[in-house]
Amino acid sequence: MASRHLSRSHVLQTLFECDAQGTFVIDSARTILARNLKDFAEGDSDGPFAESLLDGILAKQSEIDAVMATSAPQWPLDKIAPIDRNILRIGLYELLFGDKNAVPPKVALNEAIELAKSYGSDSSGKFVNGVLGAVYRSIGSPGKDDMPKDSTPLPHEHLGGVVLTTITDGKVQVALVLDAFDRWTLPKAKCAEDELSDSAAKRAMKEDFGIEAEIKAVLGEHEFIAHDPDIGRVVRTVGYFLVSTPEAVPLTAPISGGIKDARWFSEDALSGMSIYEDLLEMIQSGIQEAKRLWL
């Protein structure tokens, strides 16, 4: 059976080559795709699907790039890694302009993330997930509740969270809050209606730390099932963002909201602390991205 996943890989290879040449002329792009299908597909790729996908992306490229710029404002288009940039072009086209019956939005989202994991850097999957996740939510998260008829989907809430960092003497410091269960965690806030997760993340930073600063990077998403005292079990998806300041600005922990304290911690101190295990990877991603920015 012809693989559409493999077809996307060939379209990605074609877009990457066009990007490197600085031209997206449709005739030359089709020629490159035909060569890639001949040389690498070995009969397993869905040629017509690949051709239709490439044509659609090129026809909508200016609109796709505009959405990309809006969804990742801290990353100018020419500063995004070429492989990530073209994976996003594929994902955004299928999310916004593709045939939703042939490729449901959730499938488009997952396929782009898999391309990022296969062909991008260690951080590509989280970056692509963060950008496309924000766009997916902005269009109403279509298909998010698609489940078998005999299943009752859990309520789903979207939140924005922040990894606040600074560099002191060559070491990254991370700001954390202490919750009601005496666990150190990351600030997060529930998205209001039609609010994107980056806006909620900034609000969480203001509420829990008492500071305002610009987002530097998209780190990715963390999804978990929580218990809400009012509605019971609920799925929560938190989009996390990196904020990095030149110095360890004073933090002001709120008195209410379940937060008991807010402090800066050196990266070396994190391993011995009471931190939620499932957040450690997100914190480490923030530390690595902060090092890339400052060191």
Higher per-residue pLDDT: 149 or 182: 182
The CATH architecture one would assign to domain 4-138 is Orthogonal Bundle (1.10)
Q: Which pLDDT score, from 0 to 100, does residue 147 have? A: 40
Nearest Cα to Cα of residue 156 among 233, 88, 93: 233
Q: Which pLDDT score, from 0 to 100, does residue 190 have? A: 92
Measured CA to CA in angstroms, residue 86 lies from 57, 117, 131, 144, 232 at distances of 10, 14, 13, 25, 41
The CATH architecture one would assign to domain 156-294 is Alpha-Beta Complex (3.90)
Residue 285's pLDDT band (boundaries 50, 70, 90)?
very high
Q: Where are the alpha helices (DSSP H) in 97-193?
A: 105-119, 124-138
Largest Cα span, the chain: 64
* Mean residue pLDDT across the chain: 85
pLDDT in tens, 228-256: 666 777 888 899 999 999 889 999 866 55
Q: Which of 82-86, 114-118, 145-149, 236-240 has the lowest mean pLDDT?
A: 145-149
Q: Which of 55-59, 130-134, 141-145, 282-286 has the lowest mean pLDDT?
A: 141-145
Q: Which pLDDT score, from 0 to 100, does residue 225 have? A: 74
Main-chain phi, psi angles of 42, to 5 degrees: 55, 35
Structure tokens at 243: 């904020």
Is the confidence at residue 2, as pLDDT, over 60? no
Q: Which of 85-89, 99-103, 216-220 has the lowest mean pLDDT?
A: 99-103
Amino acid present at 14: T
SS3 category, 260: strand
Contact 237, 250 (CB under 8 A): no
SS3 category, 266: strand
Helices (H) and strands (E) in the chain, counts: 9, 7
Q: CB neighbours of 230 closer than 8 A, spacing ≥ 6?
A: none
Q: CB neighbours of 55 closer than 8 A, spacing ≥ 6?
A: 26, 30
Q: Which residue has the tokens 């970056």?
A: 127
Contact 221, 239 (CB under 8 A): yes
Higher per-residue pLDDT: 123 or 93: 93
Q: Which of 100-104, 173-177, 209-213 has the lowest mean pLDDT?
A: 100-104
pLDDT in tens, 146-158: 543 444 577 888 9
Sign, Cα dihedral of 207, 211, 212, 216: negative
Higher per-residue pLDDT: 34 or 150: 34
What string of H, E and C letters represents the secondary structure of 205-245?
HHHHHCCCCCCCEEEEEEEEEEEECCCEEEEEEEEEEEEEE
The domain spans of the chain are: 4-138, 156-294
Average pLDDT over residues 12-28: 91
Global pTM value? 0.51
Measured CA to CA in angstroms, residue 278 lies from 121, 168, 179, 233, 246 at distances of 22, 26, 15, 18, 28
